[in-house]
Every structure is written in structure tokens, then in C-alpha cells.
Structure 1
């Protein structure tokens, strides 16, 4: 899977993108976020309050319950405000 990080998520993880295999037992975005949180302090900090993180899978905004599969592109970004 291609994983993209934007704004402060990029700053906290230290990465703008990475390629990872979908971990065994992970079936949806929330499970993937839980797995990411266990990868180190930067990830734990970036996803400390996952309820405010927005996600897109294959360039479509989705909920945390959205299913994942290898080959997906997953993008994480902060809430967007308009004006």
C-alpha cells in the first residue's frame, strides 16, 4: 500500500509517504491506524487523537471503518477548514 501523510502528520511521522504491506489481521482504516500508532513515538504522536485525522482511500474520503486491501493508496491529513 502507498501511504501518504500531509501537514502536521508529515511533520510528526517524518515522512511524506511510504510503501507498506497491509499488516496481518488488519482489515480496515481504524485497524491500520492502531498498527501505525505502535510503530514509534512519531506515529503515536501523529495519531494520538485519531478522531481528528481525515483519511482518503484511493482518493476518496472515507470513514475509519472503511476496508483496506494491499494495493490501496491511503492518505492521512488534518481537518480542512474553509473561509
Structure 2
């Protein structure tokens, strides 16, 4: 399952990531980080919808998002 991880200490809550997410699963958290910003997050219930497209990580100005992709199966693998 593809997923993202937000490094909360780096996130400034700009929410640019939410504007490029094709499945619109990135939301602003109710929590604040140590710098006082409300950070981006993906609710646990929506994490399985992540496609691993990396758009959020590419647009993040603070390099606060890591994307973990599910390896694609090769032909003949079951």
C-alpha cells in the first residue's frame, strides 16, 4: 500500500500538498508542531487511497513529505 509520511517538525502548514493530491486525502491537522503550525496529515481511514504519485512531495517547499510506494508486480508474479 502506498502512503505518505509528513515530517511534522518541517511542515509549515502551507497546504500546497493538498492542492495537488489527485485523490484529495491530505488535510490540515488539528495538532500544532513545535513551531506553532498546523501540519498536513492524511487521516488513517484515507491512507489506503494514496496512489503514491509523489505530487505532494514534489510541491512541498520544506521537503517535509516522504512517499512510500507499493512495488508494482511484474508480469508472471502472483
Q: Same fold (TM over 0.5)?
A: no
User: Max radius of gyration: which structure?
Assistant: 2
- Greater share of helix residues, 1 or 2? 1
> What TM-score, normalized by structure 2, do the two folds share?
0.29
